[in-house]
Amino acid sequence: MFAKDIYIARRRALIGKMAATAPEGKRGIALFVGNAEAAAQYKDNAYKFRQDSSWLYYFGLDEPWMGAVIDLDSGEETLYADDVEIDDIIWMGPQPSVASKAAAVGIDRSAPYGAMTVAVTKALATGRNIHFLPPSRYFNTMKLASLTGIDEESVGKVAPIDEDGGRHASGELVKAVISMRLVKEPCEIEQLDDAGALGQEMHSVARDSIRIGIVEQDIVGKMEGVVLQKGWGVSFPTILTQHGETLHNHIHDTIIEPGKLMVIDAGAENNMHYASDFTRTYPTSGRFTSKQRDIYQIVCDCNELAFSLTRPGVAYRDIHIATARLMLERLKDLDLVRGDVDAMVAEGIAGLFQPHGLGHNMGLDVHDMEDLGENLVGYDPDQKRSEQLGLGSLRMARRLVPGNVITDEPGIYFIPALISKWKAEGTGKDFVNYAKLESYHDFGGIRLEDDVLVTADGARRTGPNRLPIQPDDVEDAMSSPAMSSPAMSSPAMSS
Amino acid sequence: MFAKDIYIARRRALIGKMAATAPEGKRGIALFVGNAEAAAQYKDNAYKFRQDSSWLYYFGLDEPWMGAVIDLDSGEETLYADDVEIDDIIWMGPQPSVASKAAAVGIDRSAPYGAMTVAVTKALATGRNIHFLPPSRYFNTMKLASLTGIDEESVGKVAPIDEDGGRHASGELVKAVISMRLVKEPCEIEQLDDAGALGQEMHSVARDSIRIGIVEQDIVGKMEGVVLQKGWGVSFPTILTQHGETLHNHIHDTIIEPGKLMVIDAGAENNMHYASDFTRTYPTSGRFTSKQRDIYQIVCDCNELAFSLTRPGVAYRDIHIATARLMLERLKDLDLVRGDVDAMVAEGIAGLFQPHGLGHNMGLDVHDMEDLGENLVGYDPDQKRSEQLGLGSLRMARRLVPGNVITDEPGIYFIPALISKWKAEGTGKDFVNYAKLESYHDFGGIRLEDDVLVTADGARRTGPNRLPIQPDDVEDAMSSPAMSSPAMSSPAMSS
């Protein structure tokens, strides 16, 4: 947990932002429901507890079964949670009191968990606004619906509090939270660098573990073990695949074969729950073929271009487009596309090769605040989301400001199903050399991703040890894995 | 997945058992709702998918968003799931059709996920019984409530289908499923041995990694990494603590100190989702003090006694009591308790030292089928659960039959909060030497656990390599960790 002043200041700032939404006495309450344990199998065998990210941001307490109400008119704050009984102490050990937990994050008042119902019922009875964030989990959906009497389908809808009698999540609260979480504080940047270090360590172990003949899962387990030794766990399910053309491939039962490209997209969540998210693509044999290297270098150059353009005031949407342009220019050199590059950019031809966006915000969530609404998080009010494949998947389009933390992750993929679809529909027929594309049918995909902090006058990558990315450097690293690498020194773990 | 004949036979057997509950034409349908993805942070960043165990048992398909209906009158079976669209193929790769997935587990009919609503609505409209299992997860609670029109509080209640118009989970279905899953088939025993091997490997790595001065989490990550290399993950959140007296301690931020006892209670879930569950207790310095050794030997002897008594026809409740008796006899030798051992057994004095039961069933769940009802799973109809601390926590009391797989996990703990409570209440004042107990205030706890299969004429432990358990063997293992151990050869991983 951070020092309590951090949480006090954040809640003050939130109250300040919400003050602008209504005159004093008309603001109502902000209701926060923390996460509960989530059953993996039966109820008492739960997944590793992960607190709600906005709860962590404002309340810091990393425990299940908590709630809080901030009175936006009086400023009064109450933490709702239950003190433990003697039976719990036998199983869980002595626990600090709820009052002391509240005090640790600067909250004076606490009450039993069940009393949250009383507080909300009272607010409802007196016609006060009840601002809450859209729930991510089924538990929170059920709990919010039960507290407010709103049906479960509606508690996840985001709209201004004046609409439909406020029977939905609060657009005002969502926007206020986004405006704060988008700009990382120094204490958060420290955590993101820490998560970056851990992510870079796991990637290094993974790279040094690549061996022909082993199962992909063997590497996945090893790299995730590295994270669990020092952090909370992976920040999202690891992608480690020789089928990089499948963008979110979570199957790891394939034997590593020579001559393939292996995409490793993985990150760490540290014990403070900040994320990292890196991607590298490795030739399984340790050296790129010249065909692989040609495509790899394009992706690598797009990654570098994006970083070089990243600075305050520039819209990330424009940087996405700049990398799409470079990608098309270079694919044109390879005769995979033909014609006028400006026209191809306008037509969204890059989407055939990179059907995803250049990057997304990152913080307590690896796709930061995704459930608050992708467009509200990633788009300025004057930006309209594209409907093109690729650009339309861009999660972060905003004009950058210092403190933004974003990913820079261009990729080129040869996706047979997508190529067939475009070809059959005649999409891009004036530009795409479908005949030549046929020889890339088994190529796979390449993605290269760093995490980037927007600084006062430019940008820097987070994490202390950038993973090798230039093709020569990658080959060098693969030919001489660090002597300290567990992959080299403990055959037992990769057996 | 097992061969499809396994699933066909299980469903046939289930239909057979359910046939006894009502005359033909009056049996209704059995409705199964598989698990959905469960958000860790936002919806699209889900925990690693874990399918519902009863679903795995009858339908095998290890994917989210599936449902099934078995018509208990006609025997007709339908799988409900959605085929993927082109957009999904881009992100997830080509997928087999739902029809082919159904065929792989011997089901002829399939339909879109949404059609499950139609099937249930039709059954409701024609007044048929709808048998379903109580849900473990919030999603399944919401889904079952929405499908059946039963409120969310009631779908988890288990009662005979004739009560309250069947507006609850089905007691008949619960009992039928329990009767089958309690007795493991040969293909399941193979999987339990496999999970056992993985659990023993992770424990060996953990034992070899114990070092004064490192953080507990360092070992936890290492051992969990071993599991992730070959299996699904841990079968429950790892307990690894120098505060063994806290029975379910999941905090791992403590530095390992000399002279302590470290309880490691952890298991593996293999890729087929079968569990193992082992506990060992290690002296952090590598050698037991004589005080530690005295208590350790008692627990060790209780573990061995329980195993020696385990055979078909014996009630596990009686084996629990036999170990409690031995424990009290030996604690009496140490003058920690005094008086007549029979009287102490009857009074439940052992519960002060071991407030938990001797063991539980194990299979696809580490506490097998816990959400179907602990008493239905673990108690014969003629057995009444005790209210005593310790014996009352016993999850498996039944008369054993070949194919049962159970844990054997006695423990002795010195729990300051519990000792103070008993002393203050005067509980056990005629037997417990509270004065002498004071010198055990900082002792911690010891638990020793193996997994045991009941065979035709006795029992055998599952997993190929029983972890050292006799105190001399433990000290030997700690003084010469295997050369192949990653803890020995890769300092980088424990740095």
C-alpha span between B401 and B59 (Å, rounded): 25
**Strand pairing class (A29-33; A130-132):** parallel
pLDDT band (50, 70, 90) for residue A487? very low
**Record: contact B92-A485, CB cut-off 8 A:** no
Question: Which residues neighbour A303 within 8 Å (Cβ) at sequence distance 6 or greater?
Answer: A408, A409, A410, A448, A449, A450, A469
**Record: contact B92-A243, CB cut-off 8 A:** no
Q: How many CB atoms lie within 10 A of CB B375?
A: 13
Q: What is the predicted pLDDT for the residue at A95?
A: 85
Q: What is the mean pLDDT of residues A296-311?
A: 98
Q: Which residue of A174, A227, A228, A413 is the best one to mutate when testing the B interface, meaning the one whose CB has the most B CBs within 10 A?
A: A228
Q: Which residue of A1, A33, A42 is the best one to mutate when testing the B interface, meaning the one whose CB has the most B CBs within 10 A?
A: A42
Query: Domains, chain A, ranges and CATH?
Result: 4-181 (3.40.350.10), 186-494 (3.90.230.10)
**Strand pairing class (B239-241; B268-269):** unpaired
Q: Rounded to a whole number, what is the distance in Å from the CA of B204 to chain A's nearest CA?
A: 12
Please give the single-letter amino acid code of residue A407: T
Q: Rounded to a whole number, what is the distance in Å from the CA of A457 to chain B's nearest CA?
A: 32
Residue A370 is classified by DSSP as G
Sites in chain B below the pLDDT cut of 50: 483-495
| CB B296, CB B364: distance < 8 Å | no
Structure tokens at A224: 């995730």
**Record: contact A45-B222, CB cut-off 8 A:** no
- A489 close contact with B: CB closer than 8 A: yes
Give CA separation, B137 vs A138, A295, B142, B143, B155, in Å.
Answer: 9, 45, 9, 10, 12
Structure tokens at A103: 């005090």
Per-residue pLDDT of B307-341, as tens digits, reads 999 999 999 999 999 999 999 999 999 999 999 99
Residues 394-423 of A with CB under 8 A from B: 415, 417-418, 421
**Strand pairing class (B77-80; A411-413):** unpaired
C-alpha span between A470 and A473 (Å, rounded): 5
**Record: contact A138-B137, CB cut-off 8 A:** yes
Name which of B142, B248, B421 is nearest A142 (Cβ-Cβ): B142
- A92 close contact with B: CB closer than 8 A: yes
Is residue A174 classed exposed, middle or buried when 0-12, 13-18 and 19+ CB atoms within 10 A define those classes?
Answer: buried
Residues 315-374 of A with CB under 8 A from B: 355, 364-367, 369-371
- B91 close contact with A: CB closer than 8 A: yes
Q: Is the pLDDT of residue A110 over 80?
A: yes
Q: How many CB atoms lie within 10 A of CB A421?
A: 16
Contacts of B370 in chain A (CB under 8 A): 41-45
By residue count, chain A amounts to 495
Residues 258-287 of A with CB under 8 A from B: 271
Q: What is the predicted pLDDT for the residue at B190?
A: 98
Per-residue pLDDT of A378-420, as tens digits, reads 999 999 999 999 999 999 999 999 999 999 999 999 999 899 9
**Record: contact B44-A139, CB cut-off 8 A:** no
Per-residue pLDDT of A175-234, as tens digits, reads 999 999 999 999 999 999 999 999 999 999 999 999 999 999 999 999 999 999 999 999
Q: What is the mean pLDDT of residues A164-169?
A: 93
- B456 close contact with A: CB closer than 8 A: no
C-alpha span between A65 and A97 (Å, rounded): 14
Contacts of A136 in chain B (CB under 8 A): 39, 41-43
**Record: contact B86-A417, CB cut-off 8 A:** yes
pLDDT band (50, 70, 90) for residue A492? very low
| CB A293, CB A471: distance < 8 Å | yes
Contacts of A41 in chain B (CB under 8 A): 50, 52-53, 136, 364-366, 370-371
Name which of A137, A369, A484 is nearest B39 (Cβ-Cβ): A137
Which of these, A95, A93, A82, lies nearest to A34 by C-alpha position? A82
Structure tokens at B286: 């590598």
pLDDT band (50, 70, 90) for residue A90? confident
Q: What is the predicted pLDDT for the residue at B430?
A: 96
Q: What is the predicted pLDDT for the residue at B482?
A: 59
What ipTM is given for this predicted complex? 0.93
Searching chain A, which residue's CA lies closest to the CA of residue B89? A417
Q: Rounded to a whole number, what is the distance in Å from the CA of B103 to chain A's nearest CA?
A: 21
- For CA atoms B16, B20, B26, B30, the dihedral sign is negative
**Record: contact A221-B229, CB cut-off 8 A:** yes
Name which of A50, A93, A152 is nearest B249 (Cβ-Cβ): A93
Q: Which residue of B229, B271, B276, B442 is the best one to mutate when testing the A interface, meaning the one whose CB has the most A CBs within 10 A?
A: B229
pLDDT band (50, 70, 90) for residue A291? very high
The phi, psi pair for B120, rounded to 5°, reads -70, -40
Name which of A45, A220, A490 is nearest B486 (Cβ-Cβ): A490
Which of these, B254, B424, B296, lies nearest to B246 by C-alpha position? B254
Name which of B53, B90, B367 is nearest A417 (Cβ-Cβ): B90
Please give the single-letter amino acid code of residue B137: R
pLDDT band (50, 70, 90) for residue A85? confident
**Record: contact B86-A370, CB cut-off 8 A:** no
Question: Which residues neighbour A27 within 8 Å (Cβ) at sequence distance 6 or greater?
Answer: A18, A19, A21, A72, A73, A129
Q: What is the predicted pLDDT for the residue at A84?
A: 87
Contacts of B220 in chain A (CB under 8 A): 228-229
Structure tokens at B247: 């029975």
Contacts of B445 in chain A (CB under 8 A): none
Residues 141-200 of B with CB under 8 A from A: 141-142, 152
Q: What is the predicted pLDDT for the residue at A394?
A: 97
Structure tokens at B30: 């059995």
Q: What is the predicted pLDDT for the residue at A247?
A: 73
Claim: this prediction has a pTM higher than 0.90: yes
